[in-house]
Amino acid sequence: MAAMTPRESAAVLRGICARTPVIPVMEIHDAGRARPLAEALLAGGLSVLEVTLRTPAAEAALREMAQVPGAVVGAGTLLTPCDVARAVEAGADFGVSPGATPRLIEAALDAGLPLLPGAVTPSEMMRLLEEGHDMLKFFPAAASGGASALAAIAAPLPQLAFCPTGGVTEANAPDYLALPNVLCVGGSWTAPRALVEAEDWPAIERLAHRAAGLAHRLRAG
C-alpha cells in the first residue's frame, strides 16, 4: 500500500461506508468459521465487514474473509502502530479505531491503510477535521447521546460524516440512518455469537438481508 494523506483516507472511507447501511462488527473466536460467515453476510447484502483485533483468531479470520470475492474487510480496535501493521499484514482494506492518536493516524497514513478514527466530542471532531479527516466513527454512540447527539452536531459541523457504533441495534439503527450526516452504522446484531457458533448461516443471511434493507425502507419513507 502506498502512503496517503488524511483527505485521501477520508475519501476512501466515505466510499466504503456508502456501500452499505450496516457494517457487521464481529469478534471472531474461530477462524474456521470466518469464510462461511462472510459468505452468509454477503449473500444477505452486506459487503463491508469489520473484524475486531480482540481475539487470538482475529488476524487469521480477517485473512479468510479478505479472500471472499466482493468482501471489503476492515480491522477494528486498532490502538497502536503495531495494530496497524498487523491489520495490513492480514490483508485489511481499512482500519477502525475507537479513538484517535497522532501516532496511530500517522502509522495508518504511512502504511496506506484508510483509517476510520473515533471521536465523540466536538473538540475531537474539530481537531480531526482540521487535519483533513471528515469521515469519523462516533463511539460509543448510545452512551454519548445517540442519534439526537449526532443530529445536534450536524448544525455546527456539517462537513463531517459518521459511522456510529456502540449500542447500535436493529431497533435504533433507523434513527441514525435517517440523519444526513450518517452514511452507515456499525453493529454486532447481524452476526450474533450464538448463531456463529451454531454455524446457522441461513439465519445470519436473513439478519443481513433485513439490515441491508434498512436504507431502502428509509428512502421509501
Residues tagged active-site: 50, 137
What is the phi-psi region of residue 77: left when phi exceeds 0, alpha when psi lies from -120 to 50, beta otherwise? Answer: left
3-class DSSP state of 113:
coil
Q: How far apart, in whole angstroms, are the C-alpha atoms of residue 140 and residue 131?
A: 22
Sheet holding 185-187, edge to edge: 115-116, 94-96, 72-76, 48-52, 22-26, 185-187
Q: How far apart, in whole angstroms, are the C-alpha atoms of residue 73 and residue 96?
A: 11
Q: How far apart, in whole angstroms, are the C-alpha atoms of residue 119 and residue 127?
A: 10
First-residue to last-residue Cα distance in the chain: 41
For residue 172, CA distances in Å to 145, 169, 211 come to: 13, 5, 12
Whether residue 164 contacts residue 136, with contact meaning beta carbons closer than 8 Å, is answered with: no
Grid cell of 197 as nine digits: 457458533
Peptide bond preceding 140: is omega within 30 degrees of 0, i.e. cis?
A: yes
